[in-house]
Chain A
């Protein structure tokens, strides 16, 4: 067979060694290989992540004392704006999807690449262009509006809202195209024998995410169009000075930005669903329940945005309906957590860093979820809205949840991606520092929030001072843990011990190929004959 011969010749070469038409940097930034694109995203995102962590640390230092500590209010306001914009739009929205999704989705379903490899490269370029636009928007306007760009403040301060939304639009397009690519890939490129219910749950998470990306992101485009109409033709849409309605802006902003939090977290839930059965050496408990609940979260999650606006002046009825729908999202989320815990029951558990991160995900995400219930209850939210309670809550879900899942994914898949193992001792030290620091910082924030500490405050009153000190000290542990981890991972990529092809005894397809994977993933497209997490007795004892 002719094609067989071609596969044989590339067998020795992995995707990192492959020399294509271009060499050096070009061989990366013009590569259509889904694995290289995944790594490109990772490099960009983590560079931004380090910047945003630093900004977060500066904010905490400012809160260490009452009155000015290290900066003036106008600087502080720019710092939290930049922290939010980078973390949300440049780090966590592309997040797990663009990095591990790109790298592992095709491999996990037994494909050689995504359905549209060139479109995939184009998505990455759009990410770069969007990131540059966002930074230009933030720096030219010296934006101090918060990442939400609420009108009319954003109009009055001369923040370049048009450019900021244009950046969100370009980044959104990157996201839409990735979503489109993944939906097509999942529908059309599964290996023979891989029915829908033999797909790994990470793929289910990505699939549900991809639909949100395709359906919710276009709202950013609509918002941009309306802003341009308002600015160029003077039609009053959002700006009250022109007869517009600032609350309409909030609606449009959250119609996209709330589903966006689900598109951040669903792939993280997918990662946890991979890690737990692997380290428990057993089949996942409630496969279909976990798969369907991803789709359920994606569906209901698009209809809950108004819970950001209970106090905005939106109608009474709207608030009640949005509260009701928000509570419904809790149910599929709870189902997932119960099934993950049940998967540990009667397993044969190996405790490694990826499992520790998955457990930290469950721990933090449960707190994030339960405090989400408090936010969903309207009367309670009236009190805690726009306070540190909300800041703490969403860091529990997004950071303690999604980002801890991403760290778990880094440790879980590092041996596969680079053929190297991570340094375990430093990894565990970093993990402990992160968990201690994280909880000191964000749990304290929630307590201060219930006491009434408003968010985005440069200064604080004496009754909040102790809380701020605890939170700031927590941030030192957290940041130390983060930098230790990043340093350890970078070191491991280049200098780590050689990894086996399947160090964890994983059962999904990526563990059946060499590490690092060959250029086209599989010599021969595999025939799938069992569910993703069915362990044979031999695999259990490995």
Chain B
């Protein structure tokens, strides 16, 4: 329970333990006193009853002592929070975009990925945003959480103190696949991070439409379906999720609903294209009408994804 890997961990856990220890002392006191009195003053043992209606000293005592203690607890919680809200000016900035139902991380050079990679021992500032509904960016091992609110830029920062891979959850309920809106943060040493970051530049859109001639069409597909969030609803292994799977679609007959009418069509390139750009036009029978988020695909990216789906047989 009390292991963690950021500079906030000790502060948060200490505040928690401070409150916990005081609470346990009081709780045991209350419970034991209650049970002891019930046993000791059971009517079989005690018929002489005190009809005392109170005691001012006691009342003052058990008003003042808890007041002092809770003010201490407030202070503990407050300084931890102040630390969380004081973002170091040299922090590395990464955007975390929440959308139904995946996280997309965008680095300063434009590189996009579905797994967060950060350097050890360096402050990292996450700009938490949402493309659709409320989400919440939560890394339990770092003790941080920040809601993603459409139309707002919320910031949260951390400094990792340990290398490793840690869970990222969505903590604000966001629909069917809320519990699968999971991601990972990978903490690596600073030198390794520098090399890794330099290497990402070639994948960034700034490097131009990834169009070197020898590359096979569709080879960027696996990466694109992840960062565009497709795989949150469309599996690549045949499992039906919220939407139909990509596997084995191409070249087969599908039953779709067009303008309320059921019909059979062949899943050709044209069909895939229309389904990505106008998802509601031909809805596959048996799936609920859940609006697909806008993908903002370039023509090149669209072609890559279609080429990739064609391969998934």
A interface residues, Cβ below 8 angstroms from B: 73-74, 77, 144-146, 150, 152-153, 156-157, 240-241, 245-247, 280-289, 310-313, 316, 319-320, 323-324, 327-328, 330-331, 334-335, 337-339, 341-342, 344-351, 355, 359, 362-363, 366-367, 370-371, 373-374, 376-383, 385-387, 447, 450-452, 454-461, 531, 534-535, 540-541
Contact = CB atoms under 8 A, between A and B. Distances in A.
A366 B66 CA distance: 14
A376 B76 CA distance: 11
B85 interface: yes
Contacts of A144: 175-176
Interface string B44-59: 0011111111110011
B215 interface: no
Nearest to B18: A377
Nearest to A285: B54
B196 interface: no
B31 interface: yes
A344 B51 contact: no
B76 to A, nearest CB: 6
A351 to B, nearest CB: 6
A436 B236 CA distance: 45
Given A153-B134, A370-B19, A341 B70 contact: no
A331 B63 contact: yes
Nearest to B144: A382
A320 B85 CA distance: 12
B150 A282 contact: no
A387 B132 contact: no
Closest A-B pairs by Cβ, 9 of them: A379-B80, A452-B140, A377-B77, A370-B23, A457-B179, A344-B37, A346-B50, A378-B81, A153-B133
B46 A348 contact: yes
Nearest to A319: B81
A231 B48 CA distance: 68
A382 B80 CA distance: 10
Contacts of B301: none
A359 B36 CA distance: 12
Given A74-B288, A535-B49, A374 B81 contact: no
Contact of B62 (A245, A313, A334): A334
Nearest to B179: A457
Interface string B158-189: 00000000010111111111111010000000
Interface residues of B, number: 83
Contacts of A341: 30, 33-34, 37
Contacts of A337: 30
Contact of A346 (B41, B66, B173): B41
Interface of B: 1, 8, 11-12, 15-16, 19-20, 23, 26-27, 30-31, 33-35, 37-38, 41-43, 46-55, 58-59, 62-63, 66-67, 70-71, 73-74, 76-81, 83-85, 132-134, 136, 138, 140-141, 143-147, 149-152, 154, 167, 169-180, 182, 288, 291
B182 to A, nearest CB: 8
Given A152-B132, A380-B12, A454-B169, A77 B41 contact: no
Contact of B171 (A246, A371, A387, A531): A387
A320 B51 contact: no
Contacts, number: 269
Contacts of B145: 311, 382-383, 385-386
12 contacts: A145-B173, A150-B172, A280-B41, A311-B145, A313-B147, A331-B67, A337-B30, A346-B52, A347-B41, A366-B30, A376-B74, A380-B16
Contacts of B77: 323, 376-381
A397 B81 CA distance: 26
B41 A344 contact: yes
A374 B34 CA distance: 24
Given A380-B15, A385-B171, A73 B179 contact: yes
Contacts of A241: 150
Contacts of A247: 149, 152
A316 B82 CA distance: 8
Contact of B175 (A157, A348, A386): A157
A414 to B, nearest CB: 22
Nearest to A367: B27
Contacts of B79: 379
Nearest to B3: A451
A382 B156 CA distance: 11
Contacts of A310: 81
A150 B149 CA distance: 11
A386 B171 contact: yes
A348 B47 contact: yes
A406 B147 CA distance: 36
B78 A323 contact: yes
Nearest to B174: A153
A73 B178 CA distance: 9
A505 to B, nearest CB: 10
A347 B37 contact: yes
Contacts of A285: 52-55
Contact of A359 (B38, B42, B291): B38
Given A282-B50, A348-B49, 8 more contacts: A289-B54, A320-B81, A331-B66, A371-B23, A380-B80, A382-B143, A386-B136, A386-B171
B175 A382 contact: no
B134 A370 contact: no
Contacts of B174: 153
A96 B260 CA distance: 50
Interface centre among A146, A327, A359, A367 (most CB of B within 10 A): A327
Nearest to A293: B63
A282 B30 contact: no
A246 B134 contact: yes
Nearest to A363: B31
Contacts of A366: 26-27, 30-31
Given A346-B41, A366-B27, A379 B133 contact: no
A69 B20 CA distance: 35
B145 to A, nearest CB: 5
